[in-house]
Structure 1
Amino acid sequence: MFKWAIIFAVIGLIAGALGFTGAAGAAMGVAKLLFWVGLVIAIVLLILGLTVARKVT
């Protein structure tokens, strides 16, 4: 997930440098969305991992 966020961020930066403002804004928006979704999933899995580990041991 974070890999795709970085890819879209790079695409957005390149498009912004070349003057494609619409494409840059769209790519950066997707990158931001993927970053936050990935972060939320990582936090949820961390919390689940900690709670399940307590129940198993």
Structure 2
Amino acid sequence: MPNHANINVPNLYDNWTYQVMLNVPTFVRSEVQHLVILYNKGQTTAATDNLSWPIFLDL
């Protein structure tokens, strides 16, 4: 059984959150590309997906 006094929960949570958020831009870009194809009759050249963190934070 782990020694609860030696477990740094905030640090574990921060690391987990960082790893999850690291994959968000890649996932969103992929999903935007699927939507472009879906709503543009199969064409993939309807829009560019130049997404960045400032754009995410403005939503």
So what's the TM-score if we normalise by structure 1?
0.45
So what's the TM-score if we normalise by structure 2?
0.44
Whose Rg is larger? 2
Q: Which has the higher contact order (CA 8 A, sep 6+)?
A: 1
